Structure 1
Amino acid sequence: MADDELATRAPESDAQEQSTNQPSEAEKISGIPGDTKPDQGAASMGEVTKFNDIDVYITKPADYPHQPSKLLLLLTGGTGMHSTNNKLQADKFASEGFLVVMPDQFGGDAAPTTTTTAAAEDNPSILEQVKLQVASVAKSFTIDMWLARHTPEKVLPILQKVTTSVKEEFADAVANGGGIYAVGYCFGARYVLLLGSDLDKEAAQGLRSPEATAEEGMVRQGPQIKAGAIAHGTQIGKDDLEGMSVPVCIVAVENDNLFPDNVRDEGKKALESKKVEHEMKVYPGVPHGFAVYGDYDDEKIKQSQDEAFKQMLEWLKAH
């Protein structure tokens, strides 16, 4: 499944920009657009370092460590830790009192950003349509190959190394919050759910797929986070939501084929059945990826982005 992070005003890099606020036909079909264009002059406030040989972006509240903070693990979409917008998103949480650790969960292999733009004309010629279709298929194949390289068996061990280091490096923040909090966008959303699940130890360590049936008597590894919040997840199945064991806030997009209504609805029923505390809000009229920091012209998207951030922030602070 593709991970369309930002479907509106989503150029493939900070230097490129779509000619319209509408997603290209190629992006409607497949692909992972890059960052939205950051505000002019916007700069991230944190630093990049290494935990257990994993690159991480760390951003802290201005008054830390003089004032206590809580530890927040931020898991990105396909554009990864080095994305300017993802760093600015992390900074927003830091400005609200969280010590934020954002790992490079892709090991330096962020999603490809091959550009495939539609013709400007409303009625492109047959030749232009063929060219677009070929480009779309090529891009879809490239994204699928990228996703195949970043499975739970590859990503979970990276996150395990980071959380182990975090508990040592920032023991005060972990203790102050009573555990690690987590927020995930797009690709990262599923991993918040997995970290919040009671997986068997082999699955949690990436030795087997979480989807594989666990043998009776397997050692379990409880949830690695205290509470989580996710926005417009991708590759999420009903089982991922059923496995969630800690409080979770879910930001979703109406009619989002990357997080379909039926998966969301079945997951909500499972959370209710397990009596797992949760909150779910569906935002209409916004693109998949809208909750990630970016320079949008559409006031409705800007307003919804602010609302989603407030929703997730209040949930984390309340837990």
Structure 2
Amino acid sequence: MASNPPGPCCATGFLHEGTPKGKLITIENGIQAYLATPPVSKAHDGVGLLYVPDIIGVWQNSMLMADAYALEGYTCLVLDLFNGDPAPLNLEGFDLMGWLTKGSSGDNPHTKEFIDPIILSGIKFLRESGVTRIGAAGYCFGAKYVIRHYKDGIECGFVAHPSFVESEELAAITGPLSIAAAEVDEIFPVEKRHESEKILIGTKQDYQINLFSGVEHGFSVRGDPNVKVQRFAKEQAFHQAVVWFNNHLVDKREYDTKL
């Protein structure tokens, strides 16, 4: 495995301040999502992002991050992977593995058999909305599903502090991948980073791994904005993602158009 299964650190963190500017929508099969659209003057025509969230799902922080991607010119779709049953934030004693395998109600599993079709619906929605080049940003739990779905139309990926990623999944990517990692992370520790690096070299795809000191798992979404080192790492991880997408989606599209 290229990263470990989720743990308690995947559901802890800080709520960020702000008012989401996008809108909640329903796509095919009744899947709930949040759609952030860029200002017309900044929009990258035909380029969009699938935002695959952590286990907190479509919430304040993920919506604000989607809005930030939109301000950078990207149509951004955040998927509800959990059928209205996200993990609670900062709930002491939360049975994470029970929630993953059975859901809160006992009959709503959050396993790949149920989540893969949601990812495919999100990709389909973007395509039908006029997006011809699809990038994907995956956070924690969501990173696995970015990496799994290159074969279904994701051309370029960014993931932060990934969890649950199988070595075989990482080895099968067919496009560029950027990773933002935390210095302290039992889910994506040193040995898993090094294993992932070896696998990425073998893929022959463009890759990048940035390591941020002084922060822990979840920093790019749930870090404390009042702590300087955490705020800096969160902002720089977002900048890392934007520059990666600009280079591998926007610039590539413009280059292809000139050919």
Name the TM-score, length of structure 1 as normaliser.
0.69
Name the residue aligned to 1:187. 141
Instruction: Go from structure 1 to structure 2 and tell me whether the alpha carbon gap of 1:59 and 1:294 turns closer, same or farther (over 3 Å shift).
Output: farther
Partner of 1:279: 208
Separation of aligned partners in 2, 1:229 and 1:66: 20
Per the TM alignment, residue 68 of structure 1 is displaced from its structure 2 partner at its CA by 2.5
1:93–1:69 distance in 2 versus 1, CA, 3 Å = farther
Corresponding residue SS for 1:276:
coil
Q: Is the 2:16–2:225 contact (alpha carbons within 8 Å) kept by the matching residues of 1?
A: no
Q: Percent identity, please.
A: 29
Match of 2:98 in 1: 145
**Ranges of 4+ aligned residues in structure 1 off by more than 4 Å:** 64-67
Partner of 1:109: 85
* Residue identity matched to 1:187: F
**Aligned residues of 1:85 and 1:294 also touching (Cα < 8 A):** no
- Counterparts of residues 90-109 of structure 1 (less than 5 Å): 90-109=66-85
Are 2:238 and 1:302 aligned?
A: no
Describe the superposition over 1:265-319 as per-residue Cα deviations: whole angstroms up to 9, x where unpaired. Answer: 1221122122111011111210211111655221111111111111111001101
What is the rounded CA distance, in whole Å, between the counterparts of 2:237 and 2:169 in structure 1?
22
Q: Quick one: which of 145, 166, 172 aligns to 1:237? A: 166
Aligned to 1:57: 34
Greater strand percent: which structure?
A: 2
Q: Could you say which residue in structure 2 is the equivalent of 1:158?
A: 118
Q: In structure 2, how many angstroms separate the alpha carbons of the residues matched to 1:66 and 1:310? A: 17
Residues 263 and 239 (structure 1 numbering): CA distance in 2 closer, same or farther, change over 3 Å? farther
5+ residue gaps, structure 2: 102-108, 249-259
Q: Please, which runs of 5 or more residues in structure 1 have no aligned partner?
A: 5-29, 117-137, 197-221
- 1:2 and 1:245 map into 2 onto residues whose CA distance is 23
1: CA distance, partners of 2:46 / 2:229: 32
Give deviations 1:11-34, integer Å, cap 9, x for gaps: xxxxxxxxxxxxxxxxxxx35435
The residue aligned with 1:202 is none
| Residues 139-179 of structure 1: per-residue CA shift (max 9 Å, x gap) | 3xx111112221111100111122122211x11xx23xxx2
Structure 1 contact 252–282 (Cα < 8 Å) conserved: yes
Displacement after TM superposition at 1:37 (Å):
2.7
Say whether the 8 Å CA contact 2:42–2:71 is kept in structure 1.
no
Structure (1 or 2) with the larger CA radius of gyration:
1
* Distance across 1 between alignment mates of 2:202 and 2:5: 30
Matched with 1:247 is 176
SS in 2 for 1:284: strand
Given that 1:227 and 1:247 are in contact with CA atoms closer than 8 Å, whether structure 2 keeps it comes out as yes
What is the TM-score with the length of structure 2 in the denominator?
A: 0.84
1:258 aligns with: 187
Superposition deviation, residue 113 in structure 1: 4.1
Pairs aligned (count): 237
How far apart, in 1, do the equivalents of 2:10 and 2:203 lie?
34
Provide the alpha-carbon RMSD of the alignment: 2.1
Give the drift of 1:255: 3.6
